[in-house]
């Protein structure tokens, strides 16, 4: 079971972004994001980042995933 970190959940333009990173066995964090519609919870996209993209700090992995998701939503032509 994956728990959503309180500080890893964001909303943007009608979407919920779950940016909780995966913790690697070496203690680093790998960014990951799940994007769903806020209105009905429908999964829109999920993004696994390359395995070599790791961060020492959890907050940095969250920020990377959030920045990517916001840019992806803003650049896409998806309508709610």
pLDDT in tens, 26-69: 999 999 999 999 999 999 999 999 999 999 999 999 999 999 99
Q: Label residue 1 by pLDDT band (50, 70, 90).
A: very low
pLDDT higher than 80, residue 13? yes
Query: Which CATH number goes with the domain that contains 67?
Result: 3.30.160.350
Determine the Cα–Cα distance for residues 43 and 53; give it in Å rounded to an integer.
24
Asked whether residue 1 is assigned to any structural domain, the reply reads no
Asked whether residue 56 is assigned to any structural domain, the reply reads yes
Asked whether residue 80 is assigned to any structural domain, the reply reads no
pTM: 0.84
Task: Quote the radius of gyration of the chain (alpha carbons, Å).
Answer: 12
Phi and psi at residue 11, to the nearest 5°: -120, 150
Determine the Cα–Cα distance for residues 76 and 21; give it in Å rounded to an integer.
23
Domain that holds residue 12: 6-75
Total domains, the chain: 1
pLDDT higher than 90, residue 77? no
Asked whether residue 24 is assigned to any structural domain, the reply reads yes
pLDDT the model gives residue 25 = 94
Assess contact for 14 and 8: CB atoms under 8 A.
Answer: no
Residue of 40, 30, 36 lying closest to 18 (CA atoms) = 36
């Amino acid at each position: 079971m994956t728990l959503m970190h309180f500080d890893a959940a964001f909303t943007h333009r009608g979407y919920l972004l779950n940016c909780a990173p995966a913790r690697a066995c070496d203690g680093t964090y790998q960014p990951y994001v799940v994007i769903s519609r806020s209105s009905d919870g429908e999964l829109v996209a999920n993004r696994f980042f390359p395995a070599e993209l790791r961060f020492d700090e959890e907050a940095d992995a969250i920020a990377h995933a959030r920045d990517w998701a916001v840019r992806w939503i803003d650049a896409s032509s998806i309508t709610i």
